[in-house]
């Protein structure tokens, strides 16, 4: 009897010790939903270009089976099946189902209506919606955990942080230039405080003149822009055809802005500044080359 009890105790203790090995981590996404995977995701559909870039950067590119029409980086993504555009209305649930993914990663805002559709067909999904560099670092680490690439994800985050820290040590004799980010010109729209752009400008040594606005993409008046008196006017390359100096100089009253008067107009690649992924470090470096 004692021998049986002892054997049972050994089995119970062994089971207790091994439980953490089999315990599955629970992740809470940007939509407030919890997900638990039985194992690392091996077949992934990515519905945002930033997530696609991140998955390839952390070594999970071979696990990606579906992407959007706007997922264009890195070049290896060209061989992946397309499941629609970026907006939720363009996503083909049928195509996603056909790919038999064990995880779909999407935007909490843009794809809010896609989430219940995936629930109906019993395909797990995880939503992201980063609003800051800290959020991006967190999401990269989470994607690493979801895909079995934790070590690689930590390496990516560390590399980003080191590159950005190096930018901030670059000496400058220009002080802190005031920057107006032109998202659009008619109506005049810019980047408010809670955006990657505003944070990247600060990390690169500048100041977003509309950082006090809490809306991400606010419409502003020309009169208010004059008051804020920017030293630089910057934009993404997707707006580059509207950023020619001669055209801006012909806008009524714009010659009164120091940035225009001094010809300080520039663009950087749109994809690196608008996507919440590893290439945000590229964006900070590109901005620093202009501002420092």
For the residues of the chain, what is the DSSP string, one character each? -HHHHHHHHHHHHHHHHHHHHHPPPEEE-TTS-EEE-SS--SSEEE-SHHHHHHHHHTT-GGGEEEE-TT---SGGGGGSEE---SSGGG--HHHHHHH--SEEEEETTTTTTHHHHHHHTT--EEEE---SHHHHHHHHHHHHHHHT-HHHHHHHHHHHHHHHHHHHTS--SS---EEEEEEEETTEEE--SSSHHHHHHHHTT-EETTTT--SSS-B--HHHHHHH--SEEEEEGGGGGG--HHHHHTSTTGGGSHHHHTT-EEEE-HHHHHS-STTHHHHHHHHHHHH-
pTM beyond cutoff 0.85: yes
Q: How confident is the model at residue 6 (pLDDT cuts 50, 70, 90)?
A: very low
Report the C-alpha gap between 144 and 140 in whole angstroms: 6
**Mean pLDDT for the stretch of residues 167-189:** 93
**Mean pLDDT for the stretch of residues 257-282:** 97
CB 145 within 8 A of CB 25: yes
**Mean pLDDT for the stretch of residues 18-41:** 78
Q: How confident is the model at residue 87 (pLDDT cuts 50, 70, 90)?
A: confident
Instruction: Name the residue among 222, 241, 41 with its Cα closest to residue 126.
Output: 41
User: How much is the pLDDT for 11?
Assistant: 40
Q: pLDDT tens-digit profile of 128-166? A: 999 999 999 999 999 999 999 999 999 999 999 999 999
Report the C-alpha gap between 21 and 154 in whole angstroms: 21
pLDDT at 9 over 50: no
User: How much is the pLDDT for 24?
Assistant: 67
Report the C-alpha gap between 58 and 143 in whole angstroms: 9
Please state, in angstroms and as integers, the Cα–Cα distance from residue 184 to each residue in 88, 188, 204, 213, following that order: 24, 5, 22, 16
Higher pLDDT, 80 or 13: 80
Q: How confident is the model at residue 174 (pLDDT cuts 50, 70, 90)?
A: confident
User: How much is the pLDDT for 10?
Assistant: 42
Q: How confident is the model at residue 88 (pLDDT cuts 50, 70, 90)?
A: confident
pLDDT-above-90 percentage for the chain: 86
Q: pLDDT tens-digit profile of 209-258? A: 999 999 999 999 999 999 999 999 999 999 999 999 999 999 999 999 99
CB 275 within 8 A of CB 56: no
User: How much is the pLDDT for 148?
Assistant: 96
User: How much is the pLDDT for 5?
Assistant: 45
Q: What is the residue-averaged pLDDT of the chain? A: 92
Domains of the chain (ranges; CATH) run 26-163 (3.40.50.1980), 178-291 (3.40.50.1980)
């Amino acid at each position: 009897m004692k021998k049986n009890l002892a054997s049972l105790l050994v089995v119970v203790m062994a089971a207790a010790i091994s439980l953490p090995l089999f315990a599955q981590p629970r992740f809470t996404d940007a939509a407030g939903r919890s997900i638990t995977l039985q194992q690392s995701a091996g077949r992934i559909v990515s519905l945002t270009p930033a997530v696609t870039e991140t998955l390839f950067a952390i070594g999970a590119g071979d696990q990606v089976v579906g992407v959007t029409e706007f997922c264009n980086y890195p070049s290896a993504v060209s061989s992946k099946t397309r499941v629609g555009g970026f907006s939720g209305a363009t996503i083909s649930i049928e195509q996603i189902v056909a790919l038999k993914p064990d995880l779909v990663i999407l935007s909490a805002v843009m794809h809010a209506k896609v989430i219940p559709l995936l629930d109906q067909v019993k395909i797990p999904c995880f939503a992201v919606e980063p609003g800051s560099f800290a959020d991006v670092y967190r999401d990269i680490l989470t994607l690493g955990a979801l895909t079995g690439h934790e070590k690689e994800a930590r390496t990516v985050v560390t590399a980003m942080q080191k590159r950005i820290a190096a930018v901030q040590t670059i000496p400058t004799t220009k002080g802190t230039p005031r920057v107006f980010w032109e998202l659009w010109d008619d109506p005049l729209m810019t980047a408010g405080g809670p955006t990657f752009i505003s944070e990247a400008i600060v990390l690169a040594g500048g100041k977003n003149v509309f950082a006090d606005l809490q809306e991400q993409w606010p419409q502003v008046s020309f009169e208010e822009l004059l008051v804020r008196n920017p030293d630089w006017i910057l934009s993404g390359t997707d707006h580059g055809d509207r950023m020619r100096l001669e055209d801006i100089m012909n806008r009524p009253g714009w010659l009164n802005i120091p940035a225009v008067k001094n010809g300080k107009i520039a663009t950087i690649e749109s994809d690196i500044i608008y996507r919440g992924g590893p290439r945000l470090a590229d964006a900070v470096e590109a901005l620093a080359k202009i501002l420092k």
